[in-house]
Amino acid sequence: MGQNILVTGAGGFIGHHLVKYLVNTGNRVRGVDIKEPEFEATDADEFVLADLRLKENCVDAVRDIDVVYNLAADMGGIGFISENHASIATNNVLINTHMLQASQEAEVKRFFYSSSACIYPGYKQEETDLTPLKESDAYPADPEEGYGWEKLYTEKLCQYYHDDFGLETRVARFHNVYGPLGTYDGGREKAPAAICRKLAMAQDGDEIEVWGDGQQTRSFMFIDDCVDGIVQLTESSHSDPVNLGSDVMVTVDELVDLVAEISGKSITKRHDLTKPQGVRGRNSDNDVLRQVLGWEPGTSLTDGLAVTYRWIEQQVTTSVR
């Protein structure tokens, strides 16, 4: 029998996909966000437009709810989070604090929080060929300014609500989630979507801009794997933060080359060293994920990017007609 589930951030990329998954598996889902999904209608049984920075809206959102998936956040790609420290930290601390308070007061059975690999210390990510990041590497703390600090703080807040009130909290540290139905332009998009957009708009033989020198390294997780992992982790008995990401690391240049191959276009790269590029290297250590769930993301980067590129190509083609 399904549960009464709340998904906050249900108008966003991951939240929208999560709603579809939960509805399809027989649950009753209430979605809440400050905006509706951008690219298709929600599957939620109920969708509420509300500003979750306000405590009273959080109280309304959790009424008669069994499980909360808290994905609401002010966020974006490296360009956006590098330039909006104060607003991101303020907005997200308000959302997360009020959601935890409201969930505890409503005696919600389980609370999932979407954290980020941005909580990991900069001093652990200074090389391109770095050792994959273990959950224990979070301390001594030196997260990314703004977004990383507020994520790390809320991880601790989840721990406090678990320890002090018995609220069953689950925390996943996302590593670069990508896929269709996500933001691909406007400044908040992340690297895979931005690169897919640039290739979709390019002609064969064109030059495209790449932020940084292209040698910075990352791992990327397809949205279907992300949603599967979220639900499995939430239903597990593990309450400490867990990495949720692929452990296959590539350079940004390799990512561009892969999208170019998928697009069938030959391009040249122009590296812009004035643009933000984040830490030098980042990869997920999935040992704990495998131990806790007996599972890890399985979609190859090639397969996931192919789906993502075709969707973004369709959006770009439609918008220029």
What pLDDT is attached to residue 26? 97
Every domain of the chain and the residues it spans = 4-177+223-244, 178-219+248-284+299-319
Active site residue 147: yes
Catalytic residue among 21, 120, 147, 178: 147
User: How far apart are alpha carbons 38 and 16 in whole angstroms?
Assistant: 10
pLDDT tens sequence across 269-286: 999 999 988 899 999 999
pLDDT tens sequence across 174-233: 999 999 999 999 888 989 999 999 999 999 999 999 999 999 999 999 999 999 999 999
pLDDT tens sequence across 93-118: 999 999 999 999 999 999 999 999 99
What integer best gives the mean pLDDT of the chain? 96
pLDDT tens sequence across 124-174: 999 999 899 999 999 999 999 999 999 999 999 999 999 999 999 999 999
CATH number of the domain located at residue range(s) 178-219+248-284+299-319 in this protein: 3.90.25.10
Residue 321 has pLDDT above 60, yes or no: no
CB burial of residue 147 (10 Å; 0-12, 13-18, 19+): buried
Same fold, 4-177+223-244 and 178-219+248-284+299-319: no
User: How far apart are alpha carbons 264 and 68 in whole angstroms?
Assistant: 42
282, 283, 284, 285 alpha-carbon torsion, rounded to 10° = -110
What pLDDT is attached to residue 319? 75
Tally of CB atoms within 10 A around 57: 19
What pLDDT is attached to residue 262? 97
SS (H, E, C) 55-105: HHHHHHHCCCCCEEEECCCCCCCHHHHHHCHHHHHHHHHHHHHHHHHHHHH
Radius of gyration of the chain (CA): 19
What's this model's pTM, rounded to 2 decimal places? 0.96
Question: Which residue's entry shows tokens 């690999």?
Answer: 117
CATH class of 4-177+223-244: alpha beta
Residue 42 has pLDDT above 60, yes or no: yes
Given a contact cutoff of 8 angstroms between Cβ atoms, the answer to whether 157 and 103 are in contact is no
